Homo-oligomer: A and B are copies of this chain.
Amino acid sequence: MKQDTSFDWHEPGLTIGQVAGRSGVSVSAIRFYEAQGLISSDRTAGNQRRYHSDVMCRLAMIEACQRVGLTLAEVGRALAALPPGQAPTSTDWDALAERLRTEAQSRIDRLNQVLRELAPPA
């Protein structure tokens, strides 16, 4: 029987409040991101969310991406490249990071180009 690489039943998972406390992202924003499909959670028997620790990476990335002008929809499309439901591997993260770095750099390059072309009228 192949040992599937997921899920430790001994690990209770982080509550939404714990995630908010650790990440600095508000509870309402976390729920919103989840509704938009940027992050996901398991539910307890009582319907409460329980997060795995990769959510912390995702939240940090979401914030940083927003700061460089990506919309949540764009971040969502990028994150969709990550394997759903499973803990992303180092390789997964690296590929994603590379894409985001490239996108952000192209935006700043464009800004620099515009600023270089700036000249007083006449």
| Chain A residues at the B interface, C-beta cutoff of 8 Å | 9, 52-54, 56-57, 60-61, 63-69, 87-90, 92-93, 96-97, 100-101, 104-105, 107-108, 110-122
Contacts and interface: CB of A to CB of B under 8 A. Distances in A.
Given A110-B64, A112-B101, A87 B120 contact: yes
A5 B9 CA distance: 72
A116 B93 CA distance: 10
Contacts of A113: 64
What's the number of copies of this chain in the assembled complex?
A: 2
Contacts of A69: 66-69
B120 A65 contact: no
B117 A87 contact: no
A122 B61 CA distance: 17
Contact of A117 (B60, B89, B100, B118): B60
Given A104-B108, A105-B108, A120 B68 contact: no
A60 B93 contact: no
A114 B54 contact: no
Contacts of A115: 61, 64, 97, 100-101
B52 A111 contact: no
B119 A57 contact: yes
